[in-house]
Structure 1
Amino acid sequence: MFLGHFGAALAAKPLQPRVSLGTLFLAAQLADLLWPTLLLLGVERVQIVPGLLAASPFNFEYYPFSHSLLAQVLLGLALGVGYGLLRRNWRGALLVGLLVPSHWLLDLLMHRPDLPLALGTSPKLGLGLWHYLVPTLLLELSTLAAGLWVYVRRTRPRTPAGRYGLWVLAALLVLSYLSAELGPTPASVPALAWGGQALWLFVALGYWVDAKREAVVV
C-alpha cells in the first residue's frame, strides 16, 4: 500500500492536533522510508519480476528489519518515546507510536504472503489484493480521499499556501502513485531504491502544509 498510509496519517490528525502532519506521515510510512536505504546497503533484498502480480512486480525476498510486525512495533515504540521526550506530548507520542505498525496492518491487505511477523525464520502473511489491479487502485485512492476529507473538515488554512499547498500535496501523491503503478517497471533495484528516497519529500511537505493550517475546534 502507498496512498493508504498517507490517508491513515491524514485521518489521524484530529486525534492529536498538536502533532504535525509531517510527523504522522513519518510514522505511517516509516517502514517504506527505511526500506530503500536498507536495499542500497544490501541489508534487505527484493527482486523485480515484471508481471508477478497485477499491481506489483516486486518479489520481497528479505525485509524483516523494515517490514516485519515485530520490527514495526519496536520502531513505533522508539519513535513514540522519542517524540514524547522531545515534545512532552505523551498522548501524541502514543498516536505516533501506533501509526508505525499500522503500516504492517494495511500492507497485510495488499501483499501476497510475504510479510514476516518477526526477525529471522518467521511465518509470513498477506491477503493478496495486489493480484487485482482495479480493486487495488480503488482502495488506495478511496483511502487517501477519506483521509483528506477528515483532515479538511478538522483543519482550516491560515494562509493561501495552507489552502492550495494541501491540494498540491494530494496531487503529487496521486501522480506519484499512478506513475509507479501504471508506468514502466523500475530498471533495477538500485533505481528503485534511489527513487524511493523521494518519499522523504512528502514528509517535508507534510510539515510545511500543516504549519500553514490550524485545527478547527468542534
Structure 2
Amino acid sequence: MFVGHYGPALAGKAIAATVPLWLLFLAVQLFDVAWSIFILTGIEHVRLIPGFMALSPLDLYYMPYTHGLITALVWSIAFAALYMAAVWGRGRITAFLIVTLAVFSHWVLDFLVHTRDLPLIDNRMKVGLGLWNFPQIALPLEAAVLVGGMLLYVAWTKPKNLAGRIAPWAVLAFLAAIHAYALVQPLPKSAQEFAATALASFLILPLLGLILDRTREAK
C-alpha cells in the first residue's frame, strides 16, 4: 500500500488535534523510510521482478528490521515515546496512543496487500494476504482507507480561510495522481534507485500535512 497509509494519519489528526499532521504523515511511513535507508545501505534486501505481483514488482525477501511484527511494535512505541518526550501539556497519553497506532497501522495495511513477506520473528514465519494480486480488491480498498481518513479529518476540523476549504481535496487529488503514476511508471533500473526515489517521496509528502495544518484547525 502507498497513499492508503495516509488515511490513518488523517484519522489520527481528527482524534488528536495537538499532534502535527506532518508528523503523522511521517509516522505512517516510518517503516518505509527506514526500509529505503536499509536498502540503500545493504542492511535489508529486495529484488525487482516484473510481474512478481499484479500491482508490485517487489520481492521483499529480507526486511526483518523494518517490517517484522516484533520490530514494528518496537518502532511504533519508540517513535511515539520520542514524540511524547518532546511534548508537554494536556492530552499527552492520547497523543502517545495515536502516534503509536499511526506507526503500527503501516504493518496492518501492508499485511492486507503484501504477499507472505512480513516476518513474525526474525526473517521467519512470514505472513501477508496478497491482495496486490487482486487489483479489483486492492485498489478500491486503498482508496477507501485514504478517502475515509480524509472525510474524518474534514468532519473534525474547520477551515481557517479559503485555502482551508480547498486544501483537503487538493491534497486528496495530488495523492491520487502520484499513486496513479506509481502504478504505471517504468520499472527502476535497480533496487537502490527505487529506494532513493521512495525515500524522497516519503520525506516530501509530510509537507502536505503541514499545508493542511496551516489552513485548517480543530472544531
Equivalent of 1:145, from 117, 136, 147? 147
Indicate if the aligned counterparts of 1:7 and 1:145 stay in contact, CA closer than 8 A: yes
Q: For residues 9-29 of structure 1, give each alpha carbon's deviation from its aligned partner in whole angstroms, at most 9, with x where no partner exists.
A: 111222211111112112211
Indicate if the aligned counterparts of 1:169 and 1:202 stay in contact, CA closer than 8 A: no
Letter in 2 for 1:76: S
- Residue 36 of structure 1 and its aligned partner are, at CA, apart by 1.1
Indicate if the aligned counterparts of 1:161 and 1:209 stay in contact, CA closer than 8 A: no
- Cα gap change, 1:201 to 1:163, in 2 (>3 Å): farther
Give the TM-score of the pair, scaled to structure 2: 0.92
Q: For residues 55-111 of structure 1, give each alpha carbon's deviation from its aligned partner in whole angstroms, at most 9, with x where no partner exists.
A: 111100211111111111111111111111111223201210122122111111101
Aligned counterpart, 1:200: 203
Indicate if the aligned counterparts of 1:6 and 1:144 stay in contact, CA closer than 8 A: yes
Aligned counterpart, 1:32: 32
Give the TM-score of the pair, scaled to structure 1: 0.93
Aligned counterpart, 2:115: 112
CA distance in 1, matches of 2:206, 2:96: 17
Q: Helix, strand or coil for the counterpart of 1:59?
A: strand
Mapping 1:1-218, distance limit 5 Å: 1-88=1-88, 89-119=92-122, 121-197=123-199, 198-216=201-219
Ranges in structure 1 where 5+ consecutive residues have no aligned partner: none
Indicate if the aligned counterparts of 2:48 and 2:191 stay in contact, CA closer than 8 A: yes
State the superposition RMSD in angstroms.
1.4
